[in-house]
Amino acid sequence: MENKRVMSGIQPTGDIHIGNYLGAIRQWVELTRNHQCFFVIVDYHAITIDYDTTTFQDSILKAAMVNIACGLEPGTCLLFVQSHVPEHMELNWVFASCTMVGRLTNMTQFKEKAQQHETNVNAGLLNYPILQAADILIYKASLVPVGEDQLQHLELARDIARRFNRKFGEIFPEPEACGKSVRVMGLDGENKMSKSLGNHLGVLETPEEIWKKLAPAKTDVQRVRRADPGRPWMCNIYTYHEFFTPEDRRQYCYDQCQEAGIGCVDCKRILHEHLCAALAPIQGRYRELEQHPDTVRDFLNDSARQAREIAQQTMAEVRHKMGLR
C-alpha cells in the first residue's frame, strides 16, 4: 500500500467549494502523508468544452493556488499542469488504438456532456477518458482518489491497461479507486453541492458572503416556526455541523434543536462561526500565495520536470514493447 503511487486530476478552476474540499482535496492531503502523489491540472481536458482563452492561464494558476492553500504543498506531492508533460498526449494516442469506439460512446459522462454542449460534441469530448487513462498510467499509478462519477472512467483505464499488457507485454498496473468518497449536499439540501447548480459555499468566500447563503438555506422542512421541535437527523445544515463544529457544540445544537431551545438561525450562526474558522487558514495561505505567484509557478514547473522524467521512462518502455523504436 505504502509504495503505491497516487494520481488524480484537477479541473483548472479556482472556484472550488466545500464539497470539493471535503469530498476530495482533504483526502488527497491525507494521502500525501504516506504515498507518492501526482496531481495534474487538466488543461487539455478542459479545452474539450468552450472556454475563455484570455482567462485560461489565470484559472490554471488560481486552481494551483487554491489546492496548495488547501494543503497540497510543495515537498508533499507533485502538482503540475497536464500540457507541461506532453508525454500524456503521446500515451493518449497509443491508448486510443487500444480503445473501442463503442466503449467511449457508452460513457455516461460523454452522454451528459454531449447533451449539455450539443453544438460542440467534438472528438476530444469522446476521447476524454482515454486521456484520463494516460494521465494515470503514464506514472503507473495504482491508486486513484476519485468520486463515484469517475468510476466508469477508471474502469476504462483498467481495461486499457489490461488490453495493452495482453497485446504488447506487461507494463501497466490496473489502477483502483481509493478513499472514501464523501458526498456533500448543496445548500438546497436536495442535490450534491455543485457550482453549476449554484447551491455551493466557496472555499474562498468571505464570512459575509457565506452568511448571505447560509441564512436562507434549507433546514428540517417540518420545522416551520421557531417553536417547532426540529429533527437534526433530517437537517442538511446539521450535516455541515458534522464536518466543522467541535463535538460539544455540535451536541448542543443537536439537543437544543429537538427541544426548540435554539432556532435554525442560532444553529446556523454556530455553524457559520466554525465553518469560517476552518476556512480562515486556507484563505490566509491563499492570499499569501497570491502575493507570490512566482513561487507557485516554480512549484508547478519543478513538479512537471520531475513528473516528465517518469513519463519519459514509461514512454520509452511503451515504444520498445510496441516496436516503435
Q: Which of 22, 85, 146, 187 binds ligand TRP (CB under 6 A)?
A: 146
Catalytic annotation on 195?
yes
Catalytic site residue from 4, 111, 113, 213: 113
Kindly state the cell numbers that stand for 179: 478513499
Q: Closest distance between ligand TRP and the C-beta of residue 57, in Å? A: 19
Residue 299 Cβ, how far from ligand TRP at the closest point, in Å? 19
For 300, the 3-state DSSP assignment is helix
- Residue 111, judged by CB atoms within 10 A of its CB (0-12, 13-18, 19+), counts as exposed
Question: Which residues in the 37-66 window bind ligand TRP by CB under 6 A?
Answer: 42, 45
Q: Does residue 169 come out as left (phi exceeding 0), alpha (psi in the -120 to 50 range) or beta?
A: left
Enumerate residues 6+ apart whose C-beta is below 8 A from 236: 185, 187, 189, 217, 218, 219
As a whole number of angstroms, the distance between CA 185 and CA 181 comes to 13
* Alpha-carbon distances of 143 from 3, 6, 27, 262, 310, rounded to whole Å: 10, 5, 12, 45, 17
Among 4, 195, 213, 321, the active-site one is 195
In the residue annotation, 167 being an active-site residue is answered as no
In sequence order, the 6+-apart residues with CB closer than 8 A to the CB of 244 are 271, 274, 275, 277, 278
Q: Closer CB to ligand TRP, residue 49 or residue 322?
A: 49
For the bound state, the minimum distance from the C-beta of residue 109 to ligand TRP, rounded and expressed in Å, comes to 8
Among 69, 98, 104, 136, binds ligand TRP (CB under 6 A): 136
Nearer to ligand TRP, 184 or 264 (CB): 184
* Residue closer to ligand TRP, measured from CB, 140 or 223: 140
4, 62, 140, 192: the active-site residue: 192
Could you say which residues in the range 77-116 bind ligand TRP, by CB under 6 A?
none
Q: What residues from 7 to 26 belong to the interface with ligand TRP (CB under 6 A)?
A: 7-9, 11
Q: Which residue has the cell 459555499?
A: 201
Q: How far apart are CA 308 and CA 314, in angstroms?
A: 10
Cell 488504438 belongs to: 97
Residue with smaller CB distance to ligand TRP, 8 or 127: 8
Residue number, 48 or 236, with CB nearest to ligand TRP: 48
Q: Which residue matches cell numbers 506532453?
A: 86
Q: Please, which of residues 158-217 interact with ligand TRP by CB under 6 A?
A: none
- Identify whether 140 is a catalytic site residue: no
Q: Which residues are catalytic?
A: 113, 192, 195
Chain contacts with ligand TRP (rule: CB under 6 A): 7-9, 11, 42, 45, 132, 135-136, 144, 146, 150
